[in-house]
Structure formats: structure tokens, C-alpha cells
């Protein structure tokens, strides 16, 4: 992206004073103005167009947003391991062991990196204990009845036309939504 980039922390103001990044920067299109109006009304981010440029005031929301050529990044006030410790406490997550990275990075242990590492650790822990099995309700016609015979379905059929009874029973299966998410999306977490 070729444009202006601004970095704020939670509950920080960024006025368009002379010599700052936002001096002389204004919103370029109506789409950006509509988005700014929604952000300001919701209390997520206050953006005001002043004579000198854009004024920004962040709240408790963190993330990144693009307004035309302006990219605004709001980071948490609490950094690194302290933030991770609070997240683990708040959500009852397991311990996460981080090693130093080799290579290039814009910011070490950024908020999104910590969440991805924690997610990978949770998935690995869940898979190491084997997949969870849930009871799944199954309705089928069985020659050898099991579970509960579905009398209402039997009455709607007007008796028995085949050598099977309509039954409702519960099978304990590993094929359910939580395991499908774990197995299906685990590959991108490790990458």
C-alpha cells in the first residue's frame, strides 16, 4: 500500500499537529466518510476532519482499518507476555511456550501472533488427547430395532410395509462440527 500509516494504542488521541503524519491528510471518498461515520457512532474509533487534517481517538477496540490511502493500526496497551497471561486467565487457556523467531518481523509477539500461537497450542492439545466423540441423533428404519421405536412415523406410514421398524437412536461419533473444524483448519494453523 502506498499511503499514510498511523499506529495508535488503545485510548490514545492523535491530533493533526504540524509535522505529524496526519497533518494535511483528509478523507478522499464518500465510502470512507460513511465508514468513518459508522465507526464514530459505534464508539470504536473517532475520526474527525479538522482544518489541519484528520484527528483520531481510539477506544478499547484493537485492529487495523484502511480509509482510502490511510491505514490505521490500533494495538493493545498491554504488550507481549502480560497480554498473553491475561488472555489465558480470561479464557481458561493452556500454557503457551514461545521460542524466539528467526527471520524478519514487523513487530515481535504482536496481538494477532499471540492469538494464532495460542490457537495452535489449543488445537495440538485437543488432538493429542484424541478427537472428542458426541452423540448424534439418527432416525432410520432398522430390521433389528434399537433405541426408541418411532410410533408416530409408523402410524403415518399406515402400518408396516417392510421388514423394518422406524427407530430413533443415538450413535457416539467423531464426525461432528467441532472435530471437523479441528481437522479441517489445523493445516493453516501450523503453516
Q: Is residue 70 a part of any domain in this protein?
A: yes
In a domain, 182, yes or no: no
- Tell me what pLDDT residue 128 has: 77
- How many distinct structural domains can be found in the chain? 2
The per-residue pLDDT of the chain, averaged, comes to: 80
Residues 6+ apart with CB under 8 A from 67: 27, 32, 35, 36, 47
Band of the pLDDT at 98, cuts 50, 70, 90? low
Q: Is residue 189 part of a domain?
A: no
Is 51 within a domain?
A: yes
Task: Assess contact for 170 and 135: CB atoms under 8 A.
Answer: yes
Q: Is the pLDDT of residue 76 over 90?
A: no
How high is the pLDDT of residue 32? 87
Q: Is residue 85 part of a domain?
A: no
pLDDT at residue number 108? 60
CB atoms within 10 A of CB 74: 23
| Within a domain: 35 | yes
Q: Could you tell me the residue range of the domain that residue 49 belongs to?
A: 4-75
Residue 53 resides in a domain: yes
For 103-110, the CB contacts below 8 A with 24+ separation are 108/80, 109/79, 109/80, 109/81, 109/84, 110/75
Long-range contacts of 182-189 (CB under 8 A, 24+ apart): 182/123, 182/126, 182/127, 182/131, 183/131, 186/123, 186/127, 189/116, 189/119, 189/120, 189/123
Whether 117 is in a domain gets the answer: no
pLDDT tens-digit map of 151-183? 888 888 877 778 888 899 998 888 777 777 767
Share of the chain above pLDDT 70, in %: 84
pTM of the model: 0.48
What local confidence, expressed as pLDDT, does residue 106 receive?
57
Amino acid at each position: 500500500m502506498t499511503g499514510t500509516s498511523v499506529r495508535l494504542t488503545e485510548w490514545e488521541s492523535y491530533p493533526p499537529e504540524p509535522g505529524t503524519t496526519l497533518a494535511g491528510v483528509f478523507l478522499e471518498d464518500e465510502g470512507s466518510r460513511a465508514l468513518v461515520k459508522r465507526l464514530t457512532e459505534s464508539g470504536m474509533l473517532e475520526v474527525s476532519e479538522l482544518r489541519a487534517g484528520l484527528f483520531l481517538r481510539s477506544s478499547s477496540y484493537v485492529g487495523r482499518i484502511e480509509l482510502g490511502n490511510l491505514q490505521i493500526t490500533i494495538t493493545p496497551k498491554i504488550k507481549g507476555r502480560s497480554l498473553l497471561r491475561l488472555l489465558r486467565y480470561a479464557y481458561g487457556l493452556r500454557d503457551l511456550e514461545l521460542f524466539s523467531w528467526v527471520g524478519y518481523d514487523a513487530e515481535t509477539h504482536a496481538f494477532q501472533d499471540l492469538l494464532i500461537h495460542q490457537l495452535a497450542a489449543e488445537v495440538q492439545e485437543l488432538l493429542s488427547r484424541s478427537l472428542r466423540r458426541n452423540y448424534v441423533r439418527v432416525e432410520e428404519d432398522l430390521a433389528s430395532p434399537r433405541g426408541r421405536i418411532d410410533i408416530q412415523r409408523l402410524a403415518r406410514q399406515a402400518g408396516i410395509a417392510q421388514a423394518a421398524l422406524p427407530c430413533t437412536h443415538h450413535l457416539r461419533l467423531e464426525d461432528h462440527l467441532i472435530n471437523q473444524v479441528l481437522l479441517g483448519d489445523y493445516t493453516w494453523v501450523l503453516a
